[in-house]
Structure 1
Amino acid sequence: MLNLSKIYTCIAVICLVQIGCKVPAIVENKAKPTVPLSYGNSTDTANSAAIQWRTFFADKDLETLIDTALKNNKELLITLQEIEIARNDIRVKKGQLLPSVIGGGGIGVEKVGRYTSQGAGDASTEIKPGTEVPDWLPDYKVGAYATWEIDIWKKLRTEKKAAVTRYLSTVEGKNFLITNLIAEIANDYYELLALDNQLEIVKQTITLQQNALEVVKVQKDAGRETSLAVKKFEAEVLNSQSREFDIQQKIKETENEINFLLGRYPQPVVRNTTAFFNAVPQQVQTGIPSQLLQQRPDIKQAELDLAAAKLDVKVARAEFYPSFGISSSIGFNAFKPSYLVKFPESLLASLAGDVAGPLINKNAIKAEFDNANARQTQALYNYEKTILNACIEVSTELSNLSNLEKTYQLKSKEVNALTASIDISNDLFKSARANYFEVLMTQRDAVESKLELIETKLHQFNAVTNLYRSLGGGWQ
């Protein structure tokens, strides 16, 4: 008979040796996020990030595009599967906390050597009076087997908590993707409107230049101008016509960028071109920098990644301690199927407990613990970097908006002045008080200023969209 007291003594000795060994202490890197008190001197807490994107973007055509993207964007669909994977990881970790029970049965046959302890015993064993155990003995069994690791050091529960934290992190990652997706679609949409307006200006310019070319030809026939002037005007018309095709190509590329984001094949993008100049960029309220910690999904994701990394360190530390397991089985075992139902003769049962842990050569465990600590430090730096990046993005877009507003006002005056100068230069040219070069340069300057005005308007819309994204708006 086994001496149970000796077994318990062995287990206690192993545990004491394990616990007595030096286990590295956890050096927890606590995150202490610090952000400026305000953007400039404003302490207003009203924040446009809390506004839903449907309210923020009032254009119905743009709203339809965003709705389609949120349903069909391939990258977003891939991210949703990553969330599903993270959710299933939680189920895996939960399952490890519970006993594992396996049911099954088996059929076999065996022959043992006659000159073995088992064979010698079988030779004298009678199944029935006067009958020896046959050389080839069938074996039938059916039963259930269970194993269970006792989570005495909370390693498995910590792993489950880390899995839950990573699941929440993937959700925030999805929200951050939605924020960027909405901003990208809005920026492409506004670029498309700007290109449409630029194309219209170029077409109007071509008509104006063709009219000027006809005037120059008439003056050449009258001997008032040379063929050089005619060729210069022809070259200007050809230049504008080539620019028209360049813009058309950019329109097609931008449409296809939007189609890709919407997860659909190339097709025209519905939009109201005339609304571009009439629309006024949305006013954005920035609130205070500390609100970024709650509004920006990437900051919340980095914070959750840091929390998960801290839990990983605790899991890695638990590997230094012994693990406790219980295994058991119950079923029926016999050499004839009819004997399986005979109770208790065919009953098979077992119960065992075990403890195991590393005694020597712990380098691999130490290395994994050190790696977990390093990943925790990485996650901390990434969290701090994400906060820093968010504050800088908001500051940059605020400055951009302010400067663009001033630029647009000046560009508008420039366009008005150059538009008026076109008629003046044409009248002077007809009365021979200005040469063809002055007319050409005036037309060229006017066209460039109009195109630049549209670019400035586009940059205003983009800056508003980017500021809304930087504040954490769009995922709600």
Structure 2
Amino acid sequence: MRKSLLSLTIAALALGGCSLIPDYQRPAAPIADTWPEGQAYPPAAEVNGESSALQGWREFFHDPALHRLIEIALDNNRDLRTAALNVEAYQALYRIQRADLYPNVSAAAGATRQRIPERLSQTGDSTINSQYSATLGTSWELDLFGRVRSLRDAALERYFATDEAQRSTQISLIASVADAYLTWQADQDLLELTQDTLRTFEKSYSLTQRSFDVGVASALSLSQSRTSVETARVRLNQYQRRVAEDRNALTLLLGHSLPEDLAKPLDLDADLFNELPAGVPSELLQRRPDILAAEHQLRAANADIGAARAAFFPNISLTANAGTLSPDLSGMFEGGSGTWLFSPQISLPIFNAGALEANLDYAEVQKNVQVAQYEKTIQTAFREVADGLTARATYRDQLQAQRDLVSASQDYYRLAERRYQTGIDSNLTFLDAQRQLFASQQALIIDRLAQLSAEVQLYKALGGGWTAQRLSQNPATPKS
């Protein structure tokens, strides 16, 4: 019997490397080799810079107040906390699946006492039978065809995918905090501009009212002046509401109240970011955590095919235990009380109404689904970066044109005010100049916010902060 057990063990070890997982081939990236070019995009020399230099969020964002808010969010945001807990959960699932590769050893002790009635007793008298046992047992599935290893590999890849999903959540959180902070600051600027404009409109309305009272200004001029005042009041209430809502949104992202000693309001015209080079499109496959997560899910689906294939082959399990057995407690460990049991078992599927074939078909279809999702993730990433690059190129000219428009509107306003005060033009021209200046100043703040938000989204689209080392790293395999 010992020779048979030894032979079976050697055979198991010899077949231990057998795996039915298909060879993994990364799907070709369904994107162009270069970024789009043209008038709406930056020059190629500006786009294809050195992308492996350190570009963490601390290096990308310059504003100390924003640094502080991001740190608070990373410590307190509930979505990020949930993502971190998901990583721990999938790590535990991997460890559970990996444990099936090893023998399961357990110890047991028991005792039974049974009264036998007279009619069933061989002696004709009632008796009490006792039995005491202590055993050490083990059970082990011989993974000859790699079913358990395939399930372990799938669990490991899903753990890796969850780790990348956590990193994606962190990058999205950083970008969301930056975007919410910039929006809050821009709306405060718009609120301040509206307050100043309202005072100017009210002053103009008072002058028009006095002119109307002495018969110089018409009722139409008075009505139009009042319209400007009421329009500014509407805008004032809108921006007051938006500033409050922006603060609430930022508080939610932080998972914590805003610091009372936050730095003074941000100057949106300051140099707030480092400019990130996009590199080449293929680098997205190593930078973007959502692409890495999609590939890990694809690898997991590939490993599931191996498990589905292995289910067609025999399943061999070994069960053995050894210990003592005695009719009385005091004799459990005396000589002659030893006992052992060895129970190998092999099972081979014969008929299951096509369930195994269907399970294999399902695994293969799921792999094709993951391939499509992986390719779609790459295409989405390419589109987001391309949009960010065209935003970078076009917003520069748009902002300069808007600044020129504000300057021209200010000249128009000063000339119209002078001509109105000297009686050359009517109040209508002056009111039109006021409204045009107000509208152009609002548009300048909104366009600047859009430019800053586009840079933040480009930072996110490029995979957030990265280092040369991070490009080649995978999350560590969990330890026991």
State the Cα distance separating 1:173 from its structure 2 match.
Answer: 0.9
The reply to whether residue 448 of structure 1 matches residue 401 of structure 2 is no
Task: Name the amino acid aligned to 2:280.
Answer: I
- Supply the distance in 2 between the matched residues of 1:61 and 1:26 (Cα, whole angstroms): 51
SS of equivalent residue, structure 1 residue 102: strand
Correspondence for 1:347: 338
Aligned ranges 1:282-293 → 2 under 5 Å: 282-293=274-285
Correspondence for 1:296: 288
Aligned ranges 1:353-432 → 2 under 5 Å: 353-432=344-423
- Supply the distance in 1 between the matched residues of 2:192 and 2:53 (Cα, whole angstroms): 35
State the Cα distance separating 1:133 from its structure 2 match.
Answer: 8.8
Whether the aligned pair in 2 keeps the contact of 1:193 and 1:271 (CA below 8 Å) is no
Aligned ranges 1:35-114 → 2 under 5 Å: 35-39=31-35, 40=37, 42=44, 44-47=48-51, 50-110=54-114
SS of equivalent residue, structure 1 residue 472: coil
State the Cα distance separating 1:464 from its structure 2 match.
Answer: 0.9
Aligned ranges 1:25-424 → 2 under 5 Å: 31-39=27-35, 40=37, 42=44, 44-47=48-51, 50-110=54-114, 123=122, 135-265=127-257, 270-279=262-271, 282-344=274-336, 346-424=337-415
Whether the aligned pair in 2 keeps the contact of 1:137 and 1:335 (CA below 8 Å) is yes
SS of equivalent residue, structure 1 residue 136: strand
SS of equivalent residue, structure 1 residue 284: coil
- Supply the distance in 1 between the matched residues of 2:392 and 2:189 (Cα, whole angstroms): 22
SS of equivalent residue, structure 2 residue 136: strand
The reply to whether residue 471 of structure 1 matches residue 462 of structure 2 is yes
- Supply the distance in 2 between the matched residues of 1:424 and 1:197 (Cα, whole angstroms): 26
SS of equivalent residue, structure 2 residue 44: coil
Using the size of structure 2 for normalisation, the TM-score is: 0.86
Residue 352 to residue 280, structure 1, CA distance change in 2 (3 Å): closer
Residue 165 to residue 27, structure 1, CA distance change in 2 (3 Å): closer
Whether the aligned pair in 2 keeps the contact of 1:102 and 1:144 (CA below 8 Å) is yes
Task: Name the amino acid aligned to 1:170.
Answer: T
Whether the aligned pair in 2 keeps the contact of 1:76 and 1:178 (CA below 8 Å) is yes
Residue 106 to residue 280, structure 1, CA distance change in 2 (3 Å): closer
- Supply the distance in 1 between the matched residues of 2:421 and 2:311 (Cα, whole angstroms): 93
Residue 193 to residue 60, structure 1, CA distance change in 2 (3 Å): same
Question: Over the residues paired in the alignment, what is the CA RMSD in angstroms?
Answer: 2.7
SS of equivalent residue, structure 1 residue 278: coil
Deviations 1:171-212 (CA, angstroms, capped at 9, x unpaired): 111111111111111111111111111111111101111211
Whether the aligned pair in 1 keeps the contact of 2:59 and 2:274 (CA below 8 Å) is no
Instruction: Give 5+ residue unaligned stretches, structure 1.
Output: 9-23, 125-131
SS of equivalent residue, structure 2 residue 100: helix
Residue 73 to residue 173, structure 1, CA distance change in 2 (3 Å): same
State the Cα distance separating 1:355 from its structure 2 match.
Answer: 0.2
- Supply the distance in 2 between the matched residues of 1:393 and 1:49 (Cα, whole angstroms): 21
Whether the aligned pair in 1 keeps the contact of 2:142 and 2:316 (CA below 8 Å) is yes
Correspondence for 1:20: none
Instruction: Give 5+ residue unaligned stretches, structure 2.
Output: 8-19, 38-42, 468-480
More deviation, 54-63/430-439: 430-439
Residue 91 to residue 278, structure 1, CA distance change in 2 (3 Å): closer
Deviations 1:339-373 (CA, angstroms, capped at 9, x unpaired): 212222x2221111110121112522222211111
Residue 281 to residue 330, structure 1, CA distance change in 2 (3 Å): closer
State the Cα distance separating 1:114 from its structure 2 match.
Answer: 8.2
Count of residue pairs the alignment pairs up: 445
Whether the aligned pair in 2 keeps the contact of 1:49 and 1:474 (CA below 8 Å) is no
Residue 330 to residue 318, structure 1, CA distance change in 2 (3 Å): same
Task: Name the amino acid aligned to 2:232.
Answer: S
Residue 404 to residue 265, structure 1, CA distance change in 2 (3 Å): same
- Supply the distance in 2 between the matched residues of 1:143 and 1:388 (Cα, whole angstroms): 60
Identical aligned pairs, as a percentage? 25
Task: Name the amino acid aligned to 1:466.
Answer: Q
- Supply the distance in 2 between the matched residues of 1:241 and 1:48 (Cα, whole angstroms): 50
- Supply the distance in 1 between the matched residues of 2:263 and 2:444 (Cα, whole angstroms): 20
Whether the aligned pair in 2 keeps the contact of 1:306 and 1:376 (CA below 8 Å) is yes
Correspondence for 2:476: none
SS of equivalent residue, structure 1 residue 144: strand
State the Cα distance separating 1:231 from its structure 2 match.
Answer: 3.5
More deviation, 28-37/214-223: 28-37
State the Cα distance separating 1:281 from its structure 2 match.
Answer: 5.2
Residue 179 to residue 475, structure 1, CA distance change in 2 (3 Å): farther
State the Cα distance separating 1:329 from its structure 2 match.
Answer: 1.4
Residue 307 to residue 273, structure 1, CA distance change in 2 (3 Å): same
SS of equivalent residue, structure 1 residue 260: helix
Residue 323 to residue 274, structure 1, CA distance change in 2 (3 Å): closer
Whether the aligned pair in 2 keeps the contact of 1:142 and 1:333 (CA below 8 Å) is yes
Correspondence for 2:472: none
Correspondence for 1:15: none
Whether the aligned pair in 2 keeps the contact of 1:187 and 1:465 (CA below 8 Å) is yes
- Supply the distance in 2 between the matched residues of 1:280 and 1:441 (Cα, whole angstroms): 35
SS of equivalent residue, structure 2 residue 69: helix
Deviations 1:302-339 (CA, angstroms, capped at 9, x unpaired): 11111111011001110111111111111222232122
Whether the aligned pair in 1 keeps the contact of 2:198 and 2:232 (CA below 8 Å) is yes
- Supply the distance in 1 between the matched residues of 2:440 and 2:81 (Cα, whole angstroms): 43
Whether the aligned pair in 1 keeps the contact of 2:140 and 2:319 (CA below 8 Å) is yes
- Supply the distance in 1 between the matched residues of 2:359 and 2:139 (Cα, whole angstroms): 26
